Structure 1
Amino acid sequence: MVSLLRSIQDHADDVNWCGFSSTLLATCSLDKSIRIYSSTDFTEASFSPLAGHGYGVHCCCFSSCGRYLASCSTDATTVVWGMSSGEKVAVFEQPGRSPVRVCMFSPGSACLVSGASDGSIALWDFQSRGCQVSPICGLMFVTDTTYGDMQVWDLDANQLHAAREAHDLGVTCCHFAPQIHSDDHSVWFRLASCGQDSLLKIWTVSQHATGCRMELLHTLTGQSAPVLSCSFSADGGLLAGVKWLCDLATFQNSASLLYSLHQHQRYVTACAFSPTMPLLATGSMDRSVIIWRVEDGSGGQGVLTSCPLLSVCSILPGRCAVGRSSLPVSRWSEEDVLAWLREEGLAALESSFRANNIDGAELLCLDKEMLTSDLRIESAGLRSKVLRKIEEMKTASDDSCVPDELLCPITREVLRDPVIAADGYSYEREAIESWVRNHNRSSPMTNLPLLTMALTPNRTLKMAISRWKAAQ
């Protein structure tokens, strides 16, 4: 049984990540902040929020001892914070100064790995910081990309294995189960991955004398849209995978669906199990973090096993749904509309919508009068719910399927005042001006000095953005 325990709504923008230590919960957001809570009563720490990044924070993770928290941002830095007072312990600047999308401590906190949107991976030495350090011999990590590939590496940056096209249209997240298995010939462990193909996959990664292998165990279907995050419970018995359309599914070892949770109002972007308590946290673009209690299952009640693995996903920004959801609503077919009704818990209206041949274009035009007179929906509450869902969908569509060339490389938001800098790239004027002030006049894309600070308005791009918005 899964029950809602607490809803936290302290962030002012999208929640990108959440993570537990044995005693704390950390969340981070596009509002540039990281917030720290007690995992017992979810009161916020006295030193929270942590404010030190110049742009949105994409990921945060605790060290194995829980004394440190790492966070990474579009500002091209990975910051390590002390959890006794919230002070900055270290600041690591990504080579190439590209936006950092993900960071992860090794199980013994001997090293910290960060992945950036330019595809670069940086490994940082953290052994001298006082955590309990486990041997790093044999440590491996996994990277994945929006091209759909997954690679297994050792700490010497040797590629041990590559799985090409592991997920069609791109991998969004991967996570190792804590348990490690071995026999006389090999060592193996489970790895979960999720992607833009709306699938959750469970793999076996094995290392033996002749090399490293990666084999697919399960493919979990049933998600109607891209899955952005996945997480194993501490004992490896449960796997949480977040769907693009605000659903969260938890699977047993047999890969059977246990629960689907529908509390968030917008896209769910993050999930994490507590290592010591039966708790699951989910974060969303609705700016909230929800804490769930997981009963009658492991749900993270065991102690996290320290195994020589960590997962890192180097994710290029710009999320885009696939299938029906990748189309503008105005181009949905009648069947697409019926599928949307089912997803939103409005299946009782299918016959009425079918009888009136409502497609996407007509769906967007529905108003209270049409719902009453044409579709004969007598319940005022049901009419209001339909209209509210349509408005939510219109708002959500503004954030989906944005062509990458219409996004500012710094903020990853749709350009409003695009300008061309000396490096030839187009940026949001305010963002590039701020970047230049804080990064010694270097290019965010090439890391080379900008020969001139002159910015030229990109009117052609601005017109293209206007046409794209009109088409939505």
Structure 2
Amino acid sequence: MVKLVHTLADHGDDVSCCAFSSSLLATCSLDKTIRLYSLSDFAELPHSPLKFHTYAVHCCCFSPSGHILASCSTDGTTVLWNAHSGQPLTVMEQPGGSPVRVCCFSPDSAYLASGAADGSVVVWNAQSYKLYRCGAVKDGSLVACAFSPEGSLLVTGSSSGDLTVWDGRMRFLHAEKAHDLGITCCAFSPQPLSGGEQGLQFYRLASCGQDCEIKLWVVSFSHASGFELKYKCTLRGHCAPVLACAFSHDGQMLVSGSVDKSVIIYDVGTQSVLHTLTQHTRYVTTCAFAPNTLLLATGSMDKTVNIWQFDLETPCQAGSMSDQLKQVIEDWSEEDVSTWLRAEGLEHLVGIFQINNIDGRELLHLTKESLAGDLKIESLGLRSKVLRSIEELRTRADSLSSGIPDEFICPITRELMKDPVIASDGYSYEREAMENWIHKKKRTSPMTNLVLPSLILTPNRTLKMAINRWLETHQK
């Protein structure tokens, strides 16, 4: 569950952005101020609010180290602050003086990107405070920007609806019409989808827009093979324009805020809704996850910032193959059972199970007597195989309800992976299950149903090591 633990109501106008460091929360507003709070008790710091900007403050962000805070404003400036003393370090003026709508730090804290209403994007050296590189989008205002997790790419979003991708030297790589009515925010998942072979990296990117949609993308990049941006799916939980989105620190959850006054938290792997929060009374303009803890901040035009706490057991627990999030096996539908039978090599029993309306609950209660008497399975060997598989399911159900991390579960078999591999759709699967899937289903992705660009399966050694470490600490 997620619960509201604190409400901050110090701003005198719309809250435009909120951001976390490991110990602080920063909020900014159309009231021209930035406020700082301690995460230990949510008390406002003595040197808060920070005042310099002469017009509305649109965005604020901490450097990854947490020592520097950046803010940008309609006044055409981006200010760097000492996060712990509140002292301004420098004022950087956008070329042309256009209102600055968004800013973000590179992962190594070395650079800061700022985007403006005239479509310009500037990358500043965050140590020397000098302009490093600049560029511009063709149409619209620049309203969103995000660095990839290792800093080799910068993605910007415009009010015209384009996602534009730049390399580390601000050379244009790609532009994509993402949202017809304009982009409002974009965010990279902090965790790469894979380490990849030969320097290939996969990243998950979210974009949201005035079209009421959130779109998920997979970005792949290497110096050898270049860059590719691939659309994966659309989340349509909101009924009004989506103004903000952010990933959790582990990349498993995505939060969004909307003109419909709601906050929706999604499971990224299954695209299912985890929670819908409706405590704000006006448009939700901003949302942010803390970097290392299960804290969420949401800000609104109602002038408040709500702080939410997740129970440790609930954010990402076990899943099913239906559209419900990580249900335990008892909640499987009849179709889920059919999918499981095929994965177990028992596809010839699908018809028998469907005729007898065997869902997950019925499946787990089958016995050798009911297999022989009710389902009329005459072969003793076949009945034994079914029972062995069901016993594995019962064990797995216990494990899933105990909280196996979702990224350790194969999307096909819903079992803990032993030999994880990365497919060309960017997802990880159990090798044998994916090989069988490709053999039977040809070139489609189990997660997106799109054609796989390649049938190459790359060992996910990092994930395998993580699974082994998890097993060492959880197995008795």
TM-score normalised by structure 2 residue count:
0.60
Map of 1:102 onto structure 2:
102
1:159 equivalent among 172, 182, 191 = 172
**Matched AA of 2:181:** L
- 1:215 aligned to 2:227? no
Query: Which aligned pairs between 1:346-357 and structure 2 lie closer than 5 A?
Result: none
Paired with 1:61 and 1:68, the residues of 2 have a C-alpha distance of 9
- 1:270 aligned to 2:292? no
User: Does the aligned pair in 1 maintain the 2:107–2:150 contact within 8 Å?
Assistant: no
Query: Which aligned pairs between 1:70-469 and structure 2 lie closer than 5 A?
Result: 70-127=70-127, 139-163=152-176, 165-180=177-192, 181-185=194-198, 186-208=200-222, 209-252=224-267, 253-296=269-312
Q: CA deviation at 1:138?
A: 6.2
**Matched AA of 1:238:** M
Count of aligned residue pairs for this structure pair: 295
Q: 1:293 to 1:219 in 2, by over 3 A?
A: same
User: Does the aligned pair in 2 maintain the 1:279–1:299 contact within 8 Å?
Assistant: no
Paired with 1:149 and 1:49, the residues of 2 have a C-alpha distance of 35
User: Does the aligned pair in 2 maintain the 1:171–1:196 contact within 8 Å?
Assistant: yes
Higher relative contact order (CA 8 A, sep 6+): 1
Could you list the runs of 5+ residues in structure 2 that have no partner in the other structure? 130-148, 317-476
Q: 1:288 to 1:230 in 2, by over 3 A?
A: same
Paired with 2:314 and 2:92, the residues of 1 have a C-alpha distance of 36
Query: What's the CA shift string for 1:418-452, capped at 9, x where partnerless?
Result: xxxxxxxxxxxxxxxxxxxxxxxxxxxxxxxxxxx
Q: 1:48 to 1:296 in 2, by over 3 A?
A: same
Q: CA deviation at 1:259?
A: 0.8
Map of 1:69 onto structure 2:
69
Paired with 2:97 and 2:260, the residues of 1 have a C-alpha distance of 33
Q: CA deviation at 1:236?
A: 0.3
Q: CA deviation at 1:296?
A: 4.1
Q: CA deviation at 1:110?
A: 0.5
Paired with 1:238 and 1:13, the residues of 2 have a C-alpha distance of 29
User: Does the aligned pair in 2 maintain the 1:15–1:288 contact within 8 Å?
Assistant: yes
- 1:55 aligned to 2:82? no
Query: What's the CA shift string for 1:110-154, capped at 9, x where partnerless?
Result: 10100000000011001358xxxxxx9962110011111101101
Q: CA deviation at 1:217?
A: 1.5
Give secondary structure in 1 for the equivalent of 2:96: coil
Query: What's the CA shift string for 1:32-68, capped at 9, x where partnerless?
Result: 0000000121000010000000000000000111111
Paired with 1:299 and 1:77, the residues of 2 have a C-alpha distance of 38
Query: What's the CA shift string for 1:140-199, capped at 9, x where partnerless?
Result: 110011111101101222112221x20110110000001122221421110011001101
Give secondary structure in 2 for the equivalent of 1:204: strand
Paired with 1:83 and 1:152, the residues of 2 have a C-alpha distance of 30
User: Does the aligned pair in 2 maintain the 1:233–1:298 contact within 8 Å?
Assistant: no
Give secondary structure in 2 for the equivalent of 1:58: strand
Paired with 1:201 and 1:53, the residues of 2 have a C-alpha distance of 33
Q: 1:113 to 1:299 in 2, by over 3 A?
A: farther
**Matched AA of 1:86:** G
User: Does the aligned pair in 1 maintain the 2:237–2:264 contact within 8 Å?
Assistant: no
**Matched AA of 2:17:** W
**Matched AA of 1:112:** L
Q: CA deviation at 1:222?
A: 2.7
Q: 1:204 to 1:262 in 2, by over 3 A?
A: same
| Alignment RMSD | 2.0
Q: CA deviation at 1:210?
A: 2.9
Paired with 2:30 and 2:71, the residues of 1 have a C-alpha distance of 12
User: Does the aligned pair in 2 maintain the 1:199–1:219 contact within 8 Å?
Assistant: yes
Query: What's the CA shift string for 1:74-93, capped at 9, x where partnerless?
Result: 00000000022100001100
**Matched AA of 2:152:** L
Give secondary structure in 1 for the equivalent of 2:187: strand
User: Does the aligned pair in 2 maintain the 1:280–1:299 contact within 8 Å?
Assistant: no
User: Does the aligned pair in 2 maintain the 1:238–1:298 contact within 8 Å?
Assistant: no
Paired with 1:24 and 1:295, the residues of 2 have a C-alpha distance of 21
Paired with 2:313 and 2:290, the residues of 1 have a C-alpha distance of 13
Give secondary structure in 1 for the equivalent of 2:97: coil
Q: 1:138 to 1:248 in 2, by over 3 A?
A: closer
**Matched AA of 1:266:** R
**Matched AA of 1:9:** A
Map of 2:439 onto structure 1:
none
